[in-house]
C-alpha cells in the first residue's frame, strides 16, 4: 500500500512578505527545524472565507508542503483548493501594515482584503 501524495500547490511570496514571515518565525522561541507557517482558509469574514497564518512546529499528515524563499509553508487539503496560485504580500500604508492576499481563485472579496468568496 503506497502513501497518497498530496497535490502540488503554488504559493507566491513577495520579498517583503518573506522578510516579515522570517521575523515572525524568529520571534518564536525554541522552534524545531521542522517548523513552518501554516496558511489556511477558514470560514468567516464578511465574504465567507478568511485567511489564517500560524507558526507551527511541524506539518500534519496530508498537508501540501511548499518551500519558498527559505520558508516552509503547510497547507491542508481543504485550503489548497482555494490557495493554489495565491500571492502573499506585506504592505504598509496610511491604514497600517499587514499581510495581503492576491487570490486568483476568489470570485469576490471585501474592502479590507482579508476575506473572500469562491
Closest-CA residue to 64 (of 39, 100, 31): 39
Is 109 strand, coil or helix? strand
Task: State the chain's maximal CA–CA distance in angstroms.
Answer: 55
Is 2 strand, coil or helix? coil
Contact 53, 28 (CB under 8 A): no
* CB atoms inside a 10 Å sphere around CB 114: 19
Q: What tens digit of pLDDT does each residue of 63-89 get?
A: 999 999 999 999 999 999 999 999 999
Is a pLDDT exceeding 80 seen at residue 51? Answer: yes
This model's pTM is above 0.85: no
Nine cell digits for residue 40: 489556511
d(CA 64, CA 69): 16
Is a pLDDT exceeding 90 seen at residue 106? Answer: no
- Do the strands 96-102 and 86-93 form a parallel or antiparallel pair, or are they unpaired? antiparallel
Check the CA dihedral 110-81-31-14 and report its sign: negative
Residues sharing a CB contact under 8 Å with residue 59, sequence separation 6 or more, in sequence order: 34, 36, 65, 72, 74
Averaged pLDDT for residues 99-110: 79
Is a pLDDT exceeding 80 seen at residue 118? Answer: no
Amino acid at each position: 500500500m503506497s502513501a497518497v501524495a498530496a497535490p502540488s500547490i503554488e504559493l507566491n511570496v513577495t520579498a517583503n512578505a518573506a522578510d516579515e514571515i522570517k521575523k515572525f518565525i524568529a520571534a518564536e522561541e525554541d522552534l524545531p527545524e521542522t517548523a513552518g507557517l501554516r496558511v489556511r482558509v477558514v470560514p468567516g469574514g464578511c465574504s465567507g472565507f478568511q485567511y489564517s497564518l500560524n507558526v507551527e512546529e511541524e506539518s500534519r499528515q496530508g498537508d501540501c508542503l511548499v518551500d519558498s524563499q527559505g520558508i516552509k509553508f503547510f497547507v491542508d487539503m481543504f485550503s489548497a483548493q482555494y490557495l493554489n496560485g495565491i500571492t502573499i504580500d506585506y504592505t504598509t500604508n496610511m491604514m497600517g501594515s499587514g499581510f495581503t492576499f492576491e487570490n486568483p481563485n476568489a470570485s469576490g472579496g471585501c474592502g479590507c482584503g482579508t476575506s473572500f468568496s469562491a
